[in-house]
Structure 1
Amino acid sequence: MINLNRLAMFVAVVECGSFTAAADTLGTTKAVVSFNVRQLEEELSVALLTRSTRRLALTEAGERFFQDCAQLLRQAEMAVEQVRSGHSTFSGSLRVTASVDYGNLVVAPALAEFARLHPALRVSYQASSAHADLIAERLDVAIRVGPLEDSRHRANPIGHFKLAIVASSSLLMATGTPASLQAMAALPWLANRSGQTTQWSLLDPEGKPHTIRVRNVAHADTASALLAFVLAGCGVAALPDWLLDEHIKSGRLHILMPEYALPGTEVFAVYPDTRHVSAKVRGFIDHLRDSVARGS
């Protein structure tokens, strides 16, 4: 019978990129990890990794085996969680990913609080602008902002936030505060690289939609980078409310045409569609939803 510990060591080597890093993660020695991976290859009569002085790489068989092992280990962890689900504390590991800005400002603090409440739980947080492969990277939960594209996973709503069109005091001193949608559209705009939209739809106080076309003068791939451009007076941008409070209160930024509203943006917790959802995943999703509700 294949030793599950050897499977876990093999997966750790792939995820960490080296035997040394895997040993550090697992709390053992490089020699132990190397021996067990070598034994696993001998038992399977298949080379899983190609080794050189500079890097490790998966063989074709190793790539397929890694995907299966990662899923098998996840299922084993979930089986343990199901047995322990009646207890008030969570244990094992919880791996969470989120977009850079929303993750660092909203998700990471909530995850830190959740970890403090459950000290037996080992948490891991990964901020990324790209959508991670939950199965391949053995992630438990992804917090995603905006419309969902991946139907292979389950999704629970976490909350929503609003976008506001903002400009700096210095820009408005140079251009004047726009008194109409057309005047606002004529200002230099900044765009999120993932959207690069040149058209915005806003609702007036009666709920009637109005569309404006804008000219983008710069792009950035995160909301915090766009905020830096706005603060420098480079242009106006539509930014999330959770990023703006401090700057609005200080007077460095101003909301333009506040009587017109942009559509809200939904936030979801996405997790693998498995037969049993672990108690720690359900617990964290509930905790994050409560944290977002308290902050709204």
Structure 2
Amino acid sequence: MINLNRLAMFAAVVECGSFTAAADTLGTTKAVVSFNVKQLEQELSVALLTRSTRRLALTEAGERFYHDCSVLLRQAEAAVAQARSGHASFSGSLRVTASVDYGNLVVAPALAGFARLHPELRVSYQASSTHADLIAERLDVAIRVGPLEDSRHRANPIGHFNLVIVASPALLSATGMPDSLQAMAALPWLANRPGQGGQWTLADPHGKPHTIRVRNVAHADTASALLAFALAGCGVAALPEWLLDDHLKGGRLQILMADHVLPRAEVFAVYPDTRHVSAKVRGFIDHLRAFRPGRA
């Protein structure tokens, strides 16, 4: 029978990059970690790591085994959490990732409020403009906006928001306020990711869809960066409503073709498809679903 502690030590070495760092993380000694990893390799009859004076690297077999270890360790942790889920308070760790802008405005404050409700819980938050690998990075929940691409995980809808098409007064003074979809499409546009096609579909007041093709003059991978471009008059941007209130009220941006709307953006909580979903994950998803920015 393989020792789960040895699997955890091996995973810690991979994630920390050295035996010394893994030992510090686990609260043990480098000798204990090294011994257990060597024993694991002997039990498996395969080399998992290549060692040199400067660095450690996974072998091909080690890379596959690390991925499987991560899954197994998460399942073991979830099973323990499930067994304890009848207790009133949550404990252990909760690791959450989200996109930069929505995460910092909504997810991080919600996570802080959840941590205050459950003081025995250790929370960790990671903001990123790219999708993290939940298994490899041992994350519990990812909050993702827009269409989902990864079907290996479970996903729960937690909300939605509207995208609003805006431009700066400086840009509109040079081009004129568009009075038709064709005129709006002729303006310079900003893309929210590299390689995004220059095509948008809007619904008119009767719900009829209209597709326009636009010319992208710049792109950025966060909504706040697109906002900065739009404020500077670089182009037209489709931005989330929760980012725009102050700028619209202050007249720094104006809404274009307000009677034509883009499809709303869906928000999902994504988590590994394990046999047991921990109570803390379910609890945080419920908390986030009910959360409104400005109050915990």
Same fold (TM over 0.5): yes
Deviation string 1:248-279 (CA, Å, 9 cap, x unpaired) is 22221111121211110111111122222110
Q: Given residue 250 of structure 1, which amino acid in structure 2 is its aligned partner?
A: G
Q: Is the 8 A contact 2:145 2:266 kept in 1?
A: yes
Asked if 1:184 is matched to 2:180, the reply is no
Deviation at 1:95, TM superposition (A): 1.7
What secondary structure, in the 3-state scheme, does the structure 2 residue paired with 1:228 have?
helix
Deviation at 1:114, TM superposition (A): 1.3
Q: Is the 8 A contact 2:78 2:277 kept in 1?
A: yes
Q: Given residue 233 of structure 2, which amino acid in structure 1 is its aligned partner?
A: G
Q: TM-score, normalised by structure 1?
A: 0.91
Q: Given residue 230 of structure 1, which amino acid in structure 2 is its aligned partner?
A: A
What secondary structure, in the 3-state scheme, does the structure 2 residue paired with 1:260 have?
coil
What secondary structure, in the 3-state scheme, does the structure 2 residue paired with 1:177 have?
coil
Number of the residue aligned with 1:121? 121
Which structure 1 segments of 5+ residues have no match?
none
- 80-89 or 17-26, which deviates more: 17-26
Asked if 1:70 is matched to 2:70, the reply is yes
Deviation at 1:149, TM superposition (A): 2.3
What secondary structure, in the 3-state scheme, does the structure 2 residue paired with 1:261 have?
coil
Asked if 1:12 is matched to 2:21, the reply is no
Q: How does 1:1-296 map to 2 (within 5 A)?
A: 1-194=1-194, 196-292=196-292
Q: TM-score, normalised by structure 2?
A: 0.91
Which structure 2 segments of 5+ residues have no match?
none
- 164-173 or 18-27, which deviates more: 18-27
| CA distance in structure 2 between the aligned counterparts of 1:35 and 1:246, rounded to whole angstroms | 59
Q: Is the 8 A contact 1:161 1:265 kept in 2?
A: yes
What secondary structure, in the 3-state scheme, does the structure 1 residue paired with 2:291 have?
helix
Q: Is the 8 A contact 1:159 1:293 kept in 2?
A: no
Q: Given residue 48 of structure 2, which amino acid in structure 1 is its aligned partner?
A: L
Deviation string 1:11-30 (CA, Å, 9 cap, x unpaired) is 11112223343234334444
The 3 A distance-change label for structure 1 pair 162 and 49 is: same
Q: Given residue 187 of structure 2, which amino acid in structure 1 is its aligned partner?
A: L
| CA distance in structure 1 between the aligned counterparts of 2:235 and 2:293, rounded to whole angstroms | 31
Deviation string 1:47-103 (CA, Å, 9 cap, x unpaired) is 221122332211122122212221221121112111210111111122222222222
What is the aligned residue count?
295
Q: Given residue 252 of structure 2, which amino acid in structure 1 is its aligned partner?
A: R
Q: Is the 8 A contact 1:171 1:234 kept in 2?
A: yes
Q: Given residue 241 of structure 2, which amino acid in structure 1 is its aligned partner?
A: D
Q: Is the 8 A contact 1:159 1:292 kept in 2?
A: no
The 3 A distance-change label for structure 1 pair 291 and 214 is: same
RMSD: 2.1
The 3 A distance-change label for structure 1 pair 294 and 275 is: farther
Percentage of pairs with the same residue: 84
